[in-house]
Amino acid sequence: MDHSCRGVTTMDLLDQPRKVFVNVLKSGNIVLLLLWHILHLVLSILYLLREIFRAFQSYLITNGYVKAYDDLNLDRVKYLGIVVDSDEARKTSNVIELLEWLSVIGVKKVCLYDREGVLKKSKDIFIERFGSAHLPSEDSKNPPLLSKKQMEFEFVSPIDGKEAVAKAANLLFKKYYADEDSEKPFFTETYLTKALKTLGHVESDPDLLLIYGLARCHLGFPAWRIRYTEMVHMGPLKHKKYGLILKVIHRFTKVKQNYAIYMDREAYEIGRPVIQKAGVEHKIDFIESHALHALPKNEGSFDYAFVDVGKINSINYHERITKLVKVNGIVVYDNTLWFGSVAQPEEMVLKEFKEGRVSIIEINKSLTADPRINISTVPVGDGITICRRLY
Ligand SMILES: *[C@@H]1O[C@H](CO)[C@@H](O)[C@H](O)[C@H]1NC(C)=O
Ligand SMILES: *[C@@H]1O[C@H](CO)[C@@H](O)[C@H](O)[C@H]1NC(C)=O
């Protein structure tokens, strides 16, 4: 299972090999043709082996041979998102089986999404079978056992994505800008969130998003709903495995996802109301320490790190942090334009910026010389430098 999320679509994946194949066919070269088939065979065998391994692993977990999976801490998966490739979503029986498993595991709230809104169209089927919303509460014939099965659903489709944002923008425009005399505020995320709420498009973010399909991307699931969500690609729905879902949920509940490290708690307290308002406080482990001493040890396991450690110090972090993030992970350094002083001739720099300027230039030098990363300096705020780990 791969946690990285690259924007590759299935089309891109298949187009290139197809072109090569057509060219080979045209040239009529037997050797090339043979090589092509051998390559195909090798890949198929590797894929098969992987499937066998996954099936075996799932078998062990499902049958309780792995003790760790016996008691899952579902408190950390209050809201589970499921993204399904639209073609696969049409096979309702597969989706029903998946939901059956989730209800057995004990998941209470599920968000279902596919790019063409197929699942939304058949929502009545799912609600009738698993939902709690539409069951009359006075129905005393329901045995207590059944209540375990009841799940709460949200159905998301493209109209909740870009279309919703367009509508929200329109609403904001009408409210603040269409009328000459009204005040014209500078729009921030808060405005958009409010407008989306007015249009009925805001629920909480899923804690964990399981993505079923060939493409390794989130298939257009609304981006503002996955700001603090862990995404896991599960492969095609038709190859889904009960044991592997247990494994992913177990891993999610055991691994600490988000760290905030700062030297004094007071500073963290300033930001805390905002974190609370975003409803993500329970996902953050605050550590009061000098960051260099407290950096986690699990190298290669983080998606993202933001470094705001004072100009003098950044360079000490570069080595450690680069190793902490995964390949394709992102590290962002703050204040890398240092009030513009990095671009000024030295004699013009104000005294209070001098020391910082020198170290920022040093950091920039070591970042640009590092072959493991690709960087981009973006002039927002006081300048941020975004690094992507290449290997
Ligand atoms: C960073 O280094 C690159 C390459 O040497 C250079 O082009 C760029 O101007 C530098 N940026 C800063 C902010 O020093
Ligand atoms: C990294 O950046 C360099 C130029 O700065 C570019 O030539 C190279 O293609 C980039 N590599 C990747 C993998 O994007």
Could you report the per-residue pLDDT of 170-182, keeping only the tens digit for each?
A: 998 888 888 777 7
- Residue 366, ligand 1, Cβ within 6 A: no
Distance 172 CA to ligand 1 centre (A): 39
Residue 2's pLDDT band, with cuts at 50, 70 and 90, is very low
- Whether residue 342 has its Cβ less than 6 Å from ligand 1: yes
| Selection from 319, 321, 318, 355 nearest residue 338 by Cα | 355
pLDDT tens per residue, range 197-237: 888 776 788 889 999 988 888 888 888 788 778 889 998 99
Distance from residue 384's CA to the centre of ligand 1 (Å): 13
* Distance between start and end Cα atoms, the chain: 18
Give the ligand with the smallest distance to the CA of 384: 1
**Cβ atoms within 10 Å, residue 287:** 16
DSSP-based helix, strand, coil % in the chain, nearest 5: 50, 15, 30
Whole-angstrom Cα distance, residue 100 to residue 96? 6
Dig out the tokens for 10 from the structure. 């299935």
Q: Residues enclosing ligand 2, CB less than 6 A?
A: 374, 390
Minimum mean pLDDT among 176-180, 214-218, 254-258, 301-305: which range? 254-258
- Cβ contact 248:76 at 8 Å: no
CA distance 222 to 201: 10
What are the C-alpha distances in Å from 70 to residues 67, 103, 117, 247, 249? 6, 16, 35, 11, 12
User: How many helices (H) does the chain have, and how many strands (E)?
Assistant: 14, 11
Closest CA to 372 of 318, 295, 310: 318
Q: Is 310 helix (H, G, I), strand (E, B) or coil?
A: coil
The pairing of beta strand 302-307 with beta strand 230-235: unpaired
Q: Is the pLDDT of residue 135 over 80?
A: no
Dist. CA 375 → ligand 2 center (Å): 9
β-strands 325-334, 384-389 pairing: antiparallel
Q: What pLDDT is stored for residue 139 in this prediction?
A: 44
Q: Which atom of ligand 1 is nearest to the CA of 383?
A: 13
Ligand nearest to the CA of 369: 1
For residue 147, the cross-strand partners are none
What percentage of the chain has pLDDT greater than the value 90? 17
Look at ligand 1, atom 10, and give the residue with the nearest C-alpha.
364
What pLDDT is stored for residue 310 in this prediction? 64
Determine which residue's CA is closest to atom 9 belonging to ligand 2. 374
Centre of ligand 2 to C-alpha 374, Å, is 6
Cα–Cα distance, 101 to 130 (Å, whole number): 11
Structural domains present in the chain: 67-161+201-254 (3.40.1180.10), 295-389 (3.40.50.150)
pTM score of the predicted model: 0.67
The pLDDT mean for the chain works out to 81
Considering only the C-alpha atoms of the chain, give the largest distance between any 2 of them, rounded to a whole number of Å. 85
Average pLDDT of 318-340?
Answer: 88
**CA triplet 50, 53, 54: central angle to 5 degrees?**
85
Per-residue pLDDT at 320 exceeds 70:
yes
pLDDT higher than 80, residue 79? yes
- At residue 252, the pLDDT reads 87
- E strand or H helix at 209: strand 208-212
Angle, in degrees to the nearest 10, between helices 10-27 and 30-62: 150
From 4, 328, 374, 388, the mutation candidate for ligand 2 (largest count of ligand atoms within 8 A of CB) is 374
